[in-house]
Structure 1
Amino acid sequence: MFWSNPRSVCLLVLLSMALGQSRAQKAIHLSLNEKRLQNAQQTEQKALRENDSLLLAEAWYLYGKTHAFAGDYAASQRYFLKSLGIQERRGDSFELGRLYVRLYENESRQNDMDDALHYVRQSLQVFQRIHSDEGLLRAYGALGQAYEIVWDGQWQHDNVKSDSILACYNAVRTLGHRLNDTLAIAEADLLVGQFLTRTQNPKSITYLEKALHLYSLKHKPGIQINTMVHLATAYRLTGKPERAYAILQQAETLYKQANMNELDYLIGMEREFVDYYETTGQWAKAYQRLKKLSQLEKTMLLEDRNGAVSRINMEYESEKKESLLKSQKRELTLQAATLQTQQRFTLAVSALLMMTIGMSIVFFRLYRKNQRISRQNAELVKEQNHRVKNNLQIVSSLLNLQAKRLSDATAKKAVEESQLRVQSMAILHRRLYDGDKLAQVRLDEFIEELITGILHTYGFTHAEHHFSIDKIDLTADKAIPLGLIINELVTNSCKYAFPGNKDPLLWVSCRKTGSRIQLVVADNGPGLTKTDQPALEPMTRNATKMKTFGMTLIQSQVEQLDGVGIFNTNDRYTATGAVFTLEFTV
């Protein structure tokens, strides 16, 4: 898998840069079908002339379909909801159930399966109440597809078994025979074939070929193309790539000859071309197809009503796949690039840690710009954070392995300190998403857990510690540098203040006054001497740069917070120990 491969660390950096560039892109919709648009306009004009609200609802429904086929899902959803406002007041009808199916399709495209399942079940209930076999055909087909999404693990929802999916599709076939509807029978074969393809069942080919034959007899080019794409997938997954390529070429030719202009069909065809070229190792052609597919998927995502985070997630997956394809053209030398000396290793790990911190801040700043966040935003950002935590775990594991192999005490100590910094980041990321507030951390809980872990690592669990921390919710871009500062301060106390100290003490105070936060960390060690004069000067953006890595890290994070930090030895907490005071604005 991508995230278990060490190459993923560097690929993640490339992807985050690509995501930043893609944010400025604009949606490019397919042009609207002229015949469909003209039909909707004529229906609307007639409804206005006759003052017929139901006919106006039909016109809005036709507008919604027209925009949906062109990939403009935001406009499509607006028209469908306007039509729904009229149809629901009217009560149960075929038109209302049909509209619920269309709303399900839009919600499922946007991965909002809670609303999607709600709409498809509403349609099923309406058609059952009005005893419409034609409507039940649509509802059962849509419900089976919704169950497939849940069954496939694409959405966290109630467990769905394959029997439930096949039962829906068999209901479609039964209703098709009852109505003597060839297209409905073909649709049932198509749906079953699609589902069996997911499990690489060879029987999928039989169903899909039957469906394609029936659609060809009825001269339905759009659904023919869709069936051809699924048939190509079945051929490819069952070890018949040549037949998959041949049917894909036929689908592409038919799309052009029929002058099709429908985004869903085009995306499905391009996606299967990418998968075929990957399967056969034709990376250059796969890359060219992927660029076209990426643009089409970005167009769809830019219409997602959930906004920028949904767009970032899909672009991220697309760019990730693109980077993987590029990586096949050259040998990655990450495994061979094992550092030859302890100095190179420490520098590389430090740089990797800083890049991870930077990427985390970028992700969360992107998140903060979204003013109307929804549940789907939260799930996508959590997944993003989960991947960042995976990278932190990789870094921590590498550090742990290297520490065990080092014999030099100084080098081992430096690596262990870097591992503590990574652990503090991991604690922060867990706190950011285990709480009730997304992308915010409770300082009192985070600081106590962080310090307890450090004391345990250095064997000072017996040290007396006093916490006086206000219940403050801090955003990610402030919590990350603050956590690194506290990690360095407590580590220094464990290294220099507590050894040989019979009664080691640690004080931590964090107060918020208005928009200002003051952090104080103090110990009862020997404190700082005059030789530590640079550390006794206020840390600001223009302060003298520190010599040690730890002090440099503290100073850089103080600058990141745009705050002021200073070390003292005379404070109300202790008469001899070191006291660090930090003030910054939130």
Structure 2
Amino acid sequence: MRILLILILSVGFSAVAHSQQPVKPSDSVRLSIFSQKIRAYSTTKDYSSALKYLKQYQHVKDSILEVYKQQQISALQLRYQTVKKDLEAKSKEKNINLLIGQNSLRNTNIYQARIIRKITIGVIMTIAFLLAISFLQYRLKKQANLRLENQQDAINQKNNALEHLSKQKDTLLEEKELLIKEIHHRVKNNLQVVISLLNTQSAYLNDIKASEAIRQSQHRMQSISLIHQKLYQSESRALINMKEYTQELVQYLQQSFETGNRIAFKLNIGDIDLDVLRAVPIGLILNEAITNSLKHAFPADAVGQIAIELKCLKGKLLKLMVTDDGMGLPPEFNIDICQSLGINLMKGMCKQISGQIAMENENGLYITIEFPVS
């Protein structure tokens, strides 16, 4: 029994000693007193008293353990509450951070959504603007095409009218060419008829002067007839090539006067074309000058040369020269007071083309005429 009590006390002290909660001094004293009494009564073998103090001892120990237990539970609860609060604080902080992140993400999404919306609106407005411009350009192009079509129709109508007028003009020009050609042909034929009549008339004349006058008139008409013949034969009905005309006029006069090889002709005629208003006077002047030289410069069977030159001076004047190496004019000759038909005819024709005539004696006769190009 004594050993059992000692074991119980040892276990009790050991439990109290190993508790982490400090024991109050009064409780410690009480436990020490109870322990001494238990040992004392156990020694005296008063086990009932020892058991009594053992129960008190156990009661105090249980009270101490209960307090310790309550304190442990309180400490654990406090620790639990602290940990719980820490966890709740961390959770709240985490939730706050999460909310902040979500809010930031939402703000970012809102910002991006606004930017996307602005971009979308801008794109839509740009597309609408481009569509409006395209539609406007289409309308303008359509209107321009319509105007161009109307203008093209008007141009086509004008072209058709011009083409019709051109055809009419070509027809009229052809008719005019034929008419002019016919006129020149008829004038030439009529002059030839007159020349033939004069030739027939001269056959019935016994007066030498009258026959000579008729012959001179024939030569003059022939010079005009040659011009109309050239106009009739040439492609241009308005211009006469003076080189060809002079050559034919010289051949005609050579045949008329039957000069043969006795009198030579030297021609230096430029490639000059004259209209009929100037060609006729020049033709008559050439006829008179050559005829006078053939008749008066070379008497009997004299041999000589007649030179004819027509050239352009500085593009403004034309110069005609008819020269011979014959007898020349008498010393008392004055062109201003001479009243012969041939001289008066040359002066009149020269005046008609606004020209100036001069005659000089220098180893023969020099006749010079200058007149404007046009």
Identify the TM-score tier after normalising by the shorter chain. 0.5 to 0.7
State the match for 1:203 in structure 2.
none
State the match for 1:389 in structure 2.
188
Q: Which one of 472, 482, 487 corresponds to residue 287 of structure 2?
A: 487
CA gap of 1:472–1:83, structure 2 versus 1, over 3 A, is closer
Q: Which amino acid aligns with 2:321?
A: V
Tell me, yes or no, if structure 1 residue 517 matches structure 2 residue 318: yes
Question: 1:487: Cα distance to partner?
Answer: 0.2
Q: Which amino acid aligns with 1:81?
A: N
Task: Report the secondary structure of 2:333's partner residue.
Answer: helix
Q: Which one of 253, 257, 272 corresponds to residue 472 of structure 1?
A: 272
State the match for 1:400 in structure 2.
199
Q: Which one of 235, 238, 242 corresponds to residue 439 of structure 1?
A: 238
Question: 1:439: Cα distance to partner?
Answer: 1.4
Contact kept, 8 Å, 1:506 with 1:522, in 2: the verdict is: yes
State the match for 1:410 in structure 2.
209
State the match for 1:81 in structure 2.
160
State the match for 1:568 in structure 2.
360
Question: 1:82: Cα distance to partner?
Answer: 5.4
Q: Which amino acid aligns with 2:205?
A: L
Return the structure number with greater strand share: 2
CA gap of 1:427–1:78, structure 2 versus 1, over 3 A, is farther
Contact kept, 8 Å, 1:452 with 1:461, in 2: the verdict is: no
State the match for 1:238 in structure 2.
none
Runs of 4+ residues deviating >6 angstroms: 77-80
Task: Report the secondary structure of 1:565's partner residue.
Answer: strand
State the match for 1:378 in structure 2.
177
Instruction: Tell me the TM-score normalised to structure 1 length.
Output: 0.35
**Aligned partners of 2:294, 2:162: CA distance in 1, in Å?**
68
CA gap of 1:545–1:399, structure 2 versus 1, over 3 A, is farther
Question: 1:461: Cα distance to partner?
Answer: 2.5
**Aligned partners of 2:159, 2:326: CA distance in 1, in Å?**
70
Task: Report the secondary structure of 1:451's partner residue.
Answer: helix
Q: 1:268-279 to 2 correspondence within 5 Å?
A: none
State the match for 1:253 in structure 2.
none
How big is each residue's C-alpha offset from its partner over 1:463-490, in whole Å with a ceiling of 9 and x where there is no partner?
2111111111111111110000000011
Tell me, yes or no, if structure 1 residue 456 matches structure 2 residue 255: yes
Number of residue pairs matched by the alignment = 224
Q: 1:124-523 to 2 correspondence within 5 Å?
A: 305=169, 374-462=173-261, 463-513=263-313, 514-523=315-324
How big is each residue's C-alpha offset from its partner over 1:103-150, in whole Å with a ceiling of 9 and x where there is no partner?
6xx99xxxxxxx6xxxxxxxxxxxxxxxxxxxxxxxxxxxxxxxxxxx
Q: Which amino acid aligns with 2:215?
A: E
How big is each residue's C-alpha offset from its partner over 1:517-540, in whole Å with a ceiling of 9 and x where there is no partner?
11111112110122212x2xxxxx
Contact kept, 8 Å, 1:546 with 1:555, in 2: the verdict is: no
Structure 1 vs Structure 2 CA RMSD:
3.0
**Aligned partners of 2:157, 2:253: CA distance in 1, in Å?**
54
Question: 1:548: Cα distance to partner?
Answer: 1.1
Question: 1:502: Cα distance to partner?
Answer: 3.0
How big is each residue's C-alpha offset from its partner over 1:534-576, in whole Å with a ceiling of 9 and x where there is no partner?
x2xxxxxxxx464111111111001011100111012xxxx2x
Q: Which amino acid aligns with 1:560?
A: Q
Contact kept, 8 Å, 2:185 with 2:232, in 1: the verdict is: no
Contact kept, 8 Å, 2:242 with 2:274, in 1: the verdict is: yes
Q: 1:31-70 to 2 correspondence within 5 Å?
A: none
Task: Report the secondary structure of 2:358's partner residue.
Answer: strand
Task: Report the secondary structure of 1:500's partner residue.
Answer: coil
Question: 1:306: Cα distance to partner?
Answer: 5.9
How big is each residue's C-alpha offset from its partner over 1:260-306, in whole Å with a ceiling of 9 and x where there is no partner?
xxxxxxxxxxxxxxxxxxxxxxxxxxxxxxxxxxxxxxxxxxxx646
Q: Which amino acid aligns with 1:524?
A: D
**Aligned partners of 2:160, 2:371: CA distance in 1, in Å?**
47
- Unaligned runs of at least 5 residues, structure 1: 1-49, 61-76, 85-102, 108-114, 116-303, 311-373, 536-543
Contact kept, 8 Å, 1:424 with 1:450, in 2: the verdict is: yes
- Counting aligned pairs with the same residue, the percent is 30
Task: Report the secondary structure of 1:531's partner residue.
Answer: coil
Question: 1:382: Cα distance to partner?
Answer: 1.3
CA gap of 1:529–1:385, structure 2 versus 1, over 3 A, is same
Tell me, yes or no, if structure 1 residue 552 matches structure 2 residue 334: no
Question: 1:500: Cα distance to partner?
Answer: 2.4
Task: Report the secondary structure of 2:293's partner residue.
Answer: helix
How big is each residue's C-alpha offset from its partner over 1:227-269, in whole Å with a ceiling of 9 and x where there is no partner?
xxxxxxxxxxxxxxxxxxxxxxxxxxxxxxxxxxxxxxxxxxx
How big is each residue's C-alpha offset from its partner over 1:370-419, in whole Å with a ceiling of 9 and x where there is no partner?
xxxx4443222212222222321222122111111111111101101100
State the match for 2:47 in structure 1.
none
Contact kept, 8 Å, 2:242 with 2:271, in 1: the verdict is: yes
How big is each residue's C-alpha offset from its partner over 1:46-65, in whole Å with a ceiling of 9 and x where there is no partner?
xxxx99x89x98xx9xxxxx
Task: Work out which of the two has the higher radius of gyration on C-alpha atoms and give 1 or 2.
Answer: 2
CA gap of 1:507–1:83, structure 2 versus 1, over 3 A, is closer
CA gap of 1:385–1:526, structure 2 versus 1, over 3 A, is same
**Aligned partners of 1:375, 1:484: CA distance in 2, in Å?**
31
Contact kept, 8 Å, 2:181 with 2:231, in 1: the verdict is: no
Contact kept, 8 Å, 1:501 with 1:525, in 2: the verdict is: no
How big is each residue's C-alpha offset from its partner over 1:37-87, in whole Å with a ceiling of 9 and x where there is no partner?
xxxxxxxxxxxxx99x89x98xx9xxxxxxxxxxxxxxxx97792599xxx
State the match for 1:579 in structure 2.
366
Question: 1:498: Cα distance to partner?
Answer: 2.0
Q: Which amino acid aligns with 1:516?
A: L
Q: Which one of 509, 531, 555 corresponds to residue 332 of structure 2?
A: 531
**Aligned partners of 1:550, 1:381: CA distance in 2, in Å?**
31
Task: Report the secondary structure of 2:332's partner residue.
Answer: helix
**Aligned partners of 1:547, 1:450: CA distance in 2, in Å?**
26
**Aligned partners of 1:430, 1:82: CA distance in 2, in Å?**
38
